[in-house]
Chain A
């Protein structure tokens, strides 16, 4: 039973399109995150939510809009996709110590 699952695993799309990535965790954690991993494998935090409330917005362009309908779900919608948005996007949830439980990633390729 997958603890943190995100879909889709792969997205290939044209510049200017809009896309969404969904994430669900069944660990009962209150806090969820989106991280971006670029082509050099660097990991940067984008957003965090605690119990459906936005906590961290790490200077991400407002084309990126997270939504948390409940504390088990955190989705990411991206408008007007640009070439530089190509990356692997990881969803994660955290326990009380901050230990992160990652999904398998969603690889976005913008053509």
Chain B
């Protein structure tokens, strides 16, 4: 079984400040890890992923995330938040070993609000 925990329902930051959205995961094999963003009344959009290699992954819109195997975490970060970053963020995990039979399991989502 695999699972994802996003411990914060809501994260509030001021524009220009750094932001962190937390994610921890559980998977029996080696993970693929993903972050997606959802704006109101839209589908989810891919931000970044960890597949293998460098633990620090850089993605769209200046976001990055660090894979920490010992802490089973994949926190999303951005050095300087923008009001336009306000959205719902989902972390997801997939077991690398499952191939085409695999599925991504999503966390419950974290609403990020960036205030001017």
Residues of A within 8 A of B (CB): 4, 30-31, 33, 40-45, 48, 50, 55-56, 58, 90, 92, 94, 97-105
Contact = CB atoms under 8 A, between A and B. Distances in A.
A42 to B, nearest CB: 6
19 contacts: A41-B88, A41-B108, A41-B109, A45-B103, A50-B100, A55-B100, A56-B101, A56-B103, A58-B103, A90-B44, A97-B49, A97-B51, A98-B32, A99-B49, A100-B44, A102-B36, A102-B45, A105-B42, A105-B43
A103 B103 CA distance: 17
B106 interface: yes
B34 A104 contact: no
Contact of A98 (B41, B43, B88, B104): B104
Number of contact residues on B: which range applies?
20 to 34
Nearest to A50: B100
Interface in B46-73: 46, 49, 51
B88 A100 contact: no
- Main secondary structure on A side of the interface with B: strand
B102 interface: yes
Contacts, number: 60
Contacts of A56: 101, 103
A100 to B, nearest CB: 6
A102 to B, nearest CB: 4
Interface string B27-42: 0000010101010011
Contacts of B92: 100
Given A41-B88, A90-B43, A99-B49, A50 B101 contact: yes
Interface centre among B92, B105, B106 (most CB of A within 10 A): B106
Contacts of A50: 100-101
Interface string B75-103: 00000000000001010101000001111
